[in-house]
Amino acid sequence: MDQFINLTLNGLTNGAVYAALALSLIIIYQATRVVNFAQPALALIAVYIAYTVSQHTGSYWLGFAAALVSGLVMGALTERILIRPVHGRSPLSAIIVTLGLLLVLQGIAGMVWSSEPHSFPYPLDYRGRFSAADVFAVASVGAAALLVFALYRFTPLGLRMRAAAFHPEAARMSGVRVGLMLTAGWAVASVIGALAGMLATPPFLFPHALDAVFVYGITAAVVGGLDNPFGAIFGGLLIGLGLSYVSGYAGPELTTLAALAILVVVLSIRPAGLFTRPTARKV
């Protein structure tokens, strides 16, 4: 029973991080119909920048802020420079471009900061059951999710962003700057990705530190359904808990296979994820 509680709490903490990554993927998918495979690399560079800033200033929180800001800038730049030119081509083009960016950024991280692992601190004390660091992870992801929902639901900017994502033509006619809104969507998503990176990286930072986390993040997004932010949160927690139980009771080597199993089971029941509303079929 004790182990069950431990695994549950642990699963919730990890699940919050997967949910954040899934949320960042879904914001981008909703805005531009692109699955951003470069997300782990963008987050990785943000975390490396946080590492450098923390080293120079001695403050973890300055580094944290630097990560979020650099995430914002990189997300916006990626959309402007790389995604805009392939917009409207086959979905494969955008996937390839983000994969290319993933390779470039991971390679650059290895070149600049070396492939050797650096020790990277937790934001708060991490010892014991549901430590301060765990509370911080769950709370900050929860806060980020609430902020995103508030942004989309209650602010004029959010309204324009939703309009640009769902009905670009109609939005353009009503005077919304659709291109700017798509860039804003990428920027918001990359900030959340950078947050997830900061939470997932400790104790060690190296160029492939976020790969596994990203795979669970994309699994969570696909399980939840790429069209629904609530699905991302639910999918993240589901994957987090599922992997935690499998890792605790069956062995940590099986976690990735467990993610695959969850994915296959969910998708064979609902091929477009748990939370996607049924739409009209073409055939």
Partner 1 sequence: MASSLRHRDPAAADARRRGNGGASPARRWRALPALVRHLLAAAAAFAAVMLVTSVTGPMTDLRIGSVGYYLLAVAGLQLLIGFSGQISLGHGAFMFIGAYTMALLVLHQPMLPLWLNMLITIAVSCVAGVLVGAATARLHGPYLAGATLTLAVGLPGIATRFPELFGGGNGLSFSTRGAPPALAGIVSDSQWQAGAVWLTTLLALVVLATVSAGRLGRRMRAIRDDEAAAALSGIPVGRTKVIAFVISAGCGGLAGASQAYLLGTATPSSFTVTLSLSLLAALVLGGFGSLWGAFWGALTLVYFDVWGSDLAHGLDLGTDVANNLPVVLYGAVLILIMLIWPQGVHGAVRGLGALLRRR
49 in Cβ contact with 248 (< 8 Å): no
* Gap between the Cα atoms of 50 and 48, Å rounded: 5
Binding part of the chain for partner 1, among 61-69, 137-145, 190-198, 211-219 by CB under 8 A, reads: 211-219
Residue 117 near partner 1 by CB under 8 A: no
CB-CB contact of 102 with 38 (8 Å)? yes
**Beta carbons within 8 Å of 3's beta carbon, 6+ residues apart:** 248
Query: If DSSP codes are grouped into helix, strand and coil, which group holds residue 118?
Result: strand
Contact in structure between 115 and 196 (CB atoms under 8 Å): no
- The helix, strand and coil proportions of the chain, stated in percent and rounded to the nearest 5, come to 75, 0, 20
Q: Find out whether 204 and 118 touch, Cβ atoms under 8 Å.
A: yes
- Quick note: the x/- pattern for partner 1 over 234-273, rule CB under 8 A, is -----------------x-xxxxx-xx--xx--xx--xxx
- Give the C-alpha separation, 143 to 146, whole Å: 5
* Contact status: 91 vs partner 1 (CB under 8 A): yes
Stretch of 11-19, 42-50, 96-104, 147-155 lying at the interface with partner 1 (CB under 8 A): 96-104
**Residue nearer to partner 1 on the CB measure, 119 or 268:** 268
Contact between 212 and partner 1 per CB under 8 A: yes
Q: How far is the CB of 283 from partner 1 (least distance, A)?
A: 5
The interface with partner 1 within residues 5-64 (CB under 8 A) comprises 29, 35
Q: Which residue has the tokens 């669970």?
A: 216
From the list 2-10, 97-105, 158-166, 191-199, the region that binds partner 1 by CB under 8 A is 97-105
Q: Which stretch binds partner 1 (CB under 8 A): 9-17, 42-50, 109-117, 147-155?
A: 109-117
| Residue (64 or 214) nearer to partner 1, CB | 214
Among positions 5, 65, 73, 104, the unique one binding partner 1 when judged by CB under 8 A = 104
- Which whole-number Å values give the CA distances from 51 to 130, 236, 243, 260, in the listed order? 25, 26, 29, 33
Residues that bind partner 1 (CB under 8 A): 29, 35, 82, 85-86, 89, 91-93, 95-97, 99-108, 110-111, 114-115, 211-212, 215, 218-219, 221-222, 226, 251, 253-257, 259-260, 263-264, 267-268, 271-273, 282-283
